[in-house]
Amino acid sequence: MLLTIRDLSKSFDTTDGPQPVLRGVSFDLDAGQTLALTGESGSGKSTLLHLVAGLDSASGGSVTIAGTDLATLGDAGRAAMRRDTVGLVFQQFNLIPSLNVRDNLTFHARLAGRDAGDVATLATRLGLSDHLDRYPEQLSGGQQQRVAIGRTLAARPRLVLADEPTGNLDEATGDAMMALMRDMVTDAGAAFLMVTHSERLAAMLDDRLHLRAGRLA
């Protein structure tokens, strides 16, 4: 099993005392599987994704990626996990503003010490061939997200995490992007976990879990 989540819980400290956001969530995800995590705003789905990415620490339970419990890793270990095993696509602010498209595309792969492969082919598939020398702020939102997806795929992670990756895009563009991402992830044999509040997008993936008030429904 690539990703195992057991009894995961998370509380945030507020002025009214600890506020539970996740209350014991468990599920598994294997290589080649695609899973959508849906829920209302505040249901805890983004928090869950952040915990899986090791961007934040859980209050209880465990996240195990490829046999490694994240709780046993320090800051540097989790960073290494993100670098080598996980790929992340967010709704926005994915790109490094000081690098051009070409360097952004290959950045994650090179950071992980891998060959980024054929950038030209990747760019063609993503429809970015004409934009390789541009900088992020010179691209449209859709183009920026395509760069983010391409960067993740170029790094060939075993687990791809996405948080509303098309949230900033219009419906048609978003759907096209979603399909592209799903296909490319499954082609690579990776696992894909996506957080969204959209039923329509969730339907495009194999499986689906619904989160309500921090619990799986």
Partner 1 sequence: MNRAALGALLSHWVRHPLQALTLVVGLALATGLWTGVQAINAEARQSYDRAAETLGQSALPRLEGPLTLRDLATARRAGWPVTPVVEGRLPGSRARLLGIDPFTAPPTGASDDLAEGAGLTGFLTGDLVFAAPGLDLPDGLPEVRVLDDLAPGLVLADIAVAQRLLQTSDISHLLVLGQAPVGAPPLTDLLPGTTLVDPAGQGDIARLTDSFHLNLTAFGLLAFLVGLFIVHSAIGLAFEQRRPLFRTLRALGLPTGRLTVLLGAELLVVTLVSGTLGILLGYLVAAVLLPGVAATLSGLYGASVSGSLTLSPLWWLSGFVMAGAGLALAGGQSLWQLARLPVLAPAMPRAWARAQATTLRRQAMAGVALLLLSLSLALWGQGLVMGFVCLGALLLGAALLLPPLLSVILDFGTGRARGALSQWLWSDTRQQVPGLSLALMALLLALSANIGVGTMVGSFRATFVGWLDQRLAAELYVDPGTAEEAAEMVSFLEGRVDAILPVISVETLLEGAPGDLFGQVDHATFRDNWPLLDAVPDVWDRLAAGEGALVNEQLARRTDIWAGGQIDLGAGGTRDVLGVYSDYGNPRGQAVLGIDDFNDRFPGVTPQRYGLRVDPARAPEVSNALIEAFSLPEGRIIDQAGIKGFSLAVFEQTFAVTAALNVLTLGVAGFALWASLTTLGAMRVPQVAPVWALGLSRGRLAAMDLLRAVILAAFTAALAIPVGAALAWVLLAVVNVQAFGWRLPLLPDPLGWLTLAAWALVAAALAAALPSWRLWRMPPAQLVKVFAHER
Assess contact for 197 and 38: CB atoms under 8 A: yes
User: By CB under 8 A, which span of 19-27, 64-72, 75-83, 175-183 interacts with partner 1?
Assistant: 75-83
Sign of CA dihedral 41, 42, 46, 48: negative
Q: Which residues ranging from 178 to 197 are in contact with partner 1 (CB under 8 A)?
A: none
* Nearest to partner 1 of 67, 97 (CB atom): 97
Q: Are 209 and 26 in contact (CB under 8 A)?
A: no
Which of 1, 7, 26, 96 binds partner 1 (CB under 8 A)? It is 96
Interface residue with partner 1, options 9, 38, 43, 46 (CB under 8 A): 46
How many residues of this chain interact with partner 1, rule: CB under 8 A?
Answer: 40
Residue 82 beta carbon to partner 1: minimum distance, rounded to whole angstroms: 4
Buried/exposed 115-144: b ≥16 CB within 10 Å, e otherwise: ebeebeebbebbebeebbebbbeebeebbb
User: Residue 111 or 207: which CB sits closer to partner 1?
Assistant: 111
Dihedrals phi, psi of 107, to nearest 5 degrees: -60, -50
CB 127 within 8 A of CB 105: no
Provide the 10 A C-beta neighbour count for residue 83.
Answer: 16
**Residue 98 interacting with partner 1 (CB under 8 A):** yes
80 binds partner 1 (CB under 8 A): yes
Taking the complex as a whole, the smallest distance from the CB of residue 22 to partner 1 amounts, in Å, to: 14
Question: Which residue's structure tokens are 């696509």?
Answer: 89
Find the binder of partner 1 among 24, 27, 55, 176 (CB under 8 A): 55
What is the phi-psi region of residue 76: left when phi exceeds 0, alpha when psi lies from -120 to 50, beta otherwise?
Answer: alpha
Closer to partner 1 at the Cβ: 35 or 51?
51
Output 118 or 207, the one with its CB closest to partner 1: 118
- Is 163 a binding residue for partner 1 by CB under 8 A? The answer is yes
Q: The tokens of 191 are what? A: 């696992």
Applying CB under 8 A, the residues found at the interface with partner 1 are 41, 46, 50, 53, 55-57, 75-76, 78-84, 86, 88, 90-99, 103, 106-112, 137, 163-164, 167
